[in-house]
């Protein structure tokens, strides 16, 4: 793989890996460190990677393992004795990694939002940022009804894309 393809992979997965690590650690600085380390390991192993999909899986595994290592180190430094803490600790070890699933779905939705027509994309982003419908419509210089119709069409498109991808 070429340096250009590494740059493409970096740009494609950086936010997702940071988000994933932050879900595990609840610490954005630490999550960015984990992502940076994951990409460094990918860079070192990059020549052996054959496909983009292999790189993506590699990044998630490296990030997950680093998060587990950080959490294990934190566990050793604090006392784990209360039944709730033991239950949470065991659950983290045996449950499926829902953070990977959540990250993948949110990344997919973000990609589909970027595929929307410019005005619909702008409206959805304003509404998803927490702006009220009336304020978003004023900012876009359209009626509230037009904005909400664009929102409904955008959501229908995204739902359709999710069904096509995930069945």
Gap between the Cα atoms of 21 and 75, Å rounded = 17
pLDDT value for 48: 73
**Structural domain contains residue 109:** no
Q: Which two tokens stand for residue 57?
A: 């899986």
- Give the residue numbers spanning the domain of 147: 116-166
Gap between the Cα atoms of 14 and 121, Å rounded = 22
pLDDT value for 79: 56
Is the distance from CB of 35 to CB of 9 less than 8 angstroms? Answer: no
Is the distance from CB of 14 to CB of 38 less than 8 angstroms? Answer: no
pTM given for the model: 0.58
Are residue 90 and residue 120 in the same domain, yes or no?
Answer: no
CATH number of the domain encompassing residue 20: 1.10.1740
DSSP character at residue 161? H
**How many separate domains does the chain show?**
2
Q: Which residues of the chain have pLDDT under 70?
A: 1, 50-53, 76-97
């Amino acid at each position: 793989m070429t340096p250009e393809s590494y740059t493409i992979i970096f740009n494609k997965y950086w936010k997702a890996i940071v988000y994933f690590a932050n879900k595990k650690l609840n610490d954005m600085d630490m999550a960015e460190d984990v992502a940076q380390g994951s990409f460094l390991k990918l860079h070192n192993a990059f020549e052996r990677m054959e496909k983009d999909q292999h790189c993506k899986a590699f990044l998630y595994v490296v990030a997950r393992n680093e998060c587990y290592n950080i959490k294990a180190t934190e566990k050793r430094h604090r006392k784990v004795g209360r039944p709730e803490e033991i239950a949470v600790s065991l659950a983290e070890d045996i449950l499926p990694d829902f953070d990977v699933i959540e990250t993948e779905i949110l990344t997919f939705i973000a990609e589909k939002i970027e595929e929307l027509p410019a005005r619909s994309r702008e409206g959805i982003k304003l509404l998803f940022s927490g702006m009220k419908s009336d304020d978003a419509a004023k900012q876009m210089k359209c009626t509230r009804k037009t904005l909400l119709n664009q929102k409904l069409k955008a959501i229908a498109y995204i739902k359709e894309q999710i069904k096509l991808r995930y069945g």
